[in-house]
Amino acid sequence: MKRREFLKGAGVGALAVGASALSGCNRDEATATTAAARPQETFEWKMVTTWPKNFPGMGTSAEKLATLIGAMSGGRLKVRVFGGGELVPALDVFDTVSQGGAEMGHGAAYYWKSKSDVFPFFSTVPFGMNAEEMNAWLHYGGGLELWKEAYAPYGVIPAAAGNTGVQMAGWFNKEINRLEDLKGLKMRIPGLGGEVLKRAGGTPVNMAGGELFLAMQTGALDALEWVGPYNDLAFGLHKVAKYYYYPGWHEPGTTLEAIINQAAFEQLPADLQSIVISACRVVNQDMLNLYTARNHDALQTLVGKHGVDVRRLPDDVLVRLRSLSEEVVGGLVGNNEFARRVYDSYEGFYDQAVKWHDISERAYFDVRG
């Protein structure tokens, strides 16, 4: 082999290793070498999302992800973003990507709970891990590997691509003083939080964000939760509900996802694969930073300008919701071996995160005033 050819081959090998380390894909080096030797080839992808086009934080993060992929690839991979309902309905995103109707999607794993009980573990668990802990579990605690295993039968590759931080408990037109006050409420609340509401006597509804205002205004919903002040103000939810309760016991740090059609991903050269995965990682942290920066001011606007009545859920209600949550989450495992592995991994990581954060974050919060 001539020296120049050898160097070229070695460089491609290094790229392939880098890409599989990030993506966790099992690809043989020969495939990667062939793929990476096509620098002139360009790709055009569609990204379908569960959010209204350019909705603050979520829609804009999906746009940012597409822009980053385009810029990092020097225009070799162009991604066009579609808002919920533009190409397909918001809650059809997973199926669309699975079937190859779009190469990418942006949403949240708990929206697809009807497919598998374990999916919500990869978005958020009531009284579970916060944003930082979720990111640590996914990227350094085995969570992402389990998530890939969960989505593999659908031909879909997941990546964490955003986090809201702790959400609000939601919007109500009646006071919640006892757990019994949730009885009979038809409330938009996705994921495992919805299962907990069901045990408290309510009726959970899984509904895309863009439909919430009208549903609440027309009385199709009695209550709802969306995200937090920054996002809730943008939808004008203060116009259709009186009380704004906290804390978001049901969503303590929701991971949003980018999903990628596996066949489309495998057609990319190794460097573009690495760019897609790396851009998701950037947006994952960026969105959390944005929410932390914007939520307080938005809450001040809701209270000061719009007269929203902000209330904390009573301790007794939270204690009882917590116990119902433990029943719901524990009950998912059943006889399913995979669900048991996901549960054990999540709970094991949670235990050690709680212990460490007791003497770090919590101890610091207690003293900083």
Which residue ranges make up the site for Ca ion (CB under 5 A)? 167, 225, 251
For residues 170 and 202, what is the distance between their CA atoms, to the nearest angstrom?
A: 14
Shortest Å, Cβ 252 to Ca ion: 11
Shortest Å, Cβ 188 to Ca ion: 9
Q: At what angle do helices 58-72 and 270-304 cross, to 10 degrees?
A: 150
Nearest C-alpha neighbor of 244 from the set 305, 175, 194, 292: 175
Nearest C-alpha neighbor of 159 from the set 82, 256, 77, 56: 256
Residues 6 or more apart whose CB falls under 8 angstroms from that of 80 comprise 44, 45, 46, 47, 66
Say how many C-beta atoms besides its own lie within 10 A of residue 39's C-beta: 11
CB nearer to Ca ion: pick between 187 and 259: 187
CB nearer to Ca ion: pick between 141 and 210: 210
Query: 77 with 268: CB under 8 angstroms?
Result: yes
Shortest Å, Cβ 150 to Ca ion: 21
CB nearer to Ca ion: pick between 73 and 167: 167
As to burial, measured by CB atoms within 10 angstroms (0-12 exposed, 13-18 middle, 19+ buried), residue 263 is exposed
Shortest Å, Cβ 352 to Ca ion: 26
Shortest Å, Cβ 161 to Ca ion: 16
CB nearer to Ca ion: pick between 63 and 251: 251
